[in-house]
Structure 1
Amino acid sequence: MSWCNRRTLLLSPLALAACGFTPVYGPQGGGTALQNAVLLPKPNNEAAYYFNRRFEERMGRAGPGAPYSLSLILQTDDQGIGSTSGGNTTRYRLIGRAFFGLVDTGTGQTRFEGRTNAFTGYSTTGSTVATRAAETDAVERLMTLLADQVIDDLLLSGVTPS
């Protein structure tokens, strides 16, 4: 490593601090403001359950008096992408979208809105049981991706308590 590269590496934290960069989980970061503070809608299907589980793994579970609630619409779509010469579909792409809003429960005001999407796939070449297990696993992976993206968007939005 040349001296110039070391100097750049050592001075880059100073440049970030000068531009107003704050770590998300630092003392003034938005991550700590949202920890255990976002009430999720009750899951009404398997996908929403997986989404909520992942969200709570990362952000904690909020109680009834939480300062924020999450408005959430989840959409999923199956798309056949592989087939045999006989016309049987052998692979599916599962596409998911999450439309969300962070609502201040005290005022009812939406503090942040966003949308994210992701996809995953699964194979249908095994038995019926194996296909169902693959589909369930794909739904769980998709909801994990969407929950992580929603959390990242919320953390990067810079929402702080009012």
Structure 2
Amino acid sequence: MPRRALTPAVLILLLAVGACGFQPVYGKRSGEVGRQSAVTADLASIAVSPIADRAGQLLRNSLLDKLTPRGTPGQAHYRLDVSLTETRSNLVILKDSTSTFAKVRFAADFVLVDLETGQPVHRGQSESTTTFNRVDSDFATLSAEKDARRRAADEIGEDIRLRLGLYFNRRRGT
């Protein structure tokens, strides 16, 4: 395609995308005042309840980093309750019954509770599966498993953040 024909095509494409109603979920929209968007402010007003076990700690830390990066909200409007299930299984079994590859699966059920009414306003589920290699070195295997668990917790944390952001975005009617 000649360069002259490409420029108008790109302009038409950009105008079409701009007119389709696309709006950022976390960014500011026209008419919003302040340092952060309304959805970001809603996410920052969520208190994350403690989650059981070490995997729960990893997930809670991930959620705190993603939802309230400026610290715990002074006056929370919502509470996020999460239950987490972790399973680990060996995938590649050798003839001598040893494993060289394993997977870690996290499954989370979450409920967003409005603290003013005490009623659940949003529910959801999220899951993540990560894998790691098992090697002769115990230290390397433990490090790989720890990293796989951290990655799974981060993936679930990001998924929950996205789902809550979409909930708040829809609730605002935009």
- Provide TM-score, normalisation by structure 2: 0.80
Work out whether residues 25 and 165 of structure 2, in 8 Å CA contact, stay in contact via their aligned partners in 1: no
The 10-residue stretch of structure 1 (148-157 or 63-72) with the greater mean CA deviation from structure 2: 63-72
Corresponding residue SS for 2:21: helix
Deviates further, 83-92 or 67-76: 83-92
Superposition pairs for residues 138-153 of structure 1, below 5 Å? 138-153=148-163
Match of 1:127 among 130, 134, 137: 137
Query: What displacement does 1:42 show?
Result: 1.8
Residue identity opposite 2:61 in structure 1 = R
Write out aligned runs for 1:50-61 (5 A): 50-60=58-68, 61=71
Alpha-carbon distance, 1:38 to partner: 1.0
What are the Cα deviations for residues 30-89 of structure 1, in whole angstroms up to 9, with x where unaligned? Answer: 522324211111243221111121112122133463110001011111121112221211
What is the total number of aligned residue pairs between the two structures? 158
User: Is 1:34–1:59's contact at 8 Å kept on the other side of the alignment?
Assistant: no
Q: Is the 8 A contact 2:88 2:104 kept in 1?
A: yes
Q: How far did 1:95 drift?
A: 1.0
Query: In the alignment, what sits opposite 1:155?
Result: 165
1:15 alignment partner, one of 11, 15, 20: 20
Tell whether the 8 Å contact from 1:30 to 1:155 is kept in structure 2 after alignment. no
Q: Decide which of 76, 79, 85 is 1:66's aligned counterpart.
A: 76
Paired residue for 2:11, among 6, 18, 32?
Answer: 6
| Structure 1: segments with no counterpart, 5+ residues | none
TM-score, normalised with respect to structure 1:
0.85
How far residue 139 of structure 1 moved from its aligned partner, in angstroms, is 0.8
- Provide Cα deviations, 1:1-52, integer angstroms capped at 9, x if missing partner: 35234302223112215xxx45433246652232421111124322111112
2:45 to 37, 40, 47: 37
- 1:122-162: CA deviations, max 9, x gaps? 1111322221121111111110010000000100112658x
Residues 92/30 of structure 1: CA separation in 2 closer, same or farther (3 Å cut): farther
Work out whether 1:80 is the aligned partner of 2:87: no
Of structures 1 and 2, the one scoring higher in RCO (CA 8 A, sep 6+) is 1
DSSP 3-state at the match of 2:20: helix
Q: CA deviation at 1:104?
A: 0.5
- Residue aligning to 2:3: none
Question: Which structure would you say has the larger Rg?
Answer: 2
Between stretches 33-42 and 107-116, larger displacement belongs to 33-42
The secondary structure found in structure 1 opposite 2:52 is coil
Distance across 1 between alignment mates of 2:45 and 2:51: 18
RMSD: 2.2
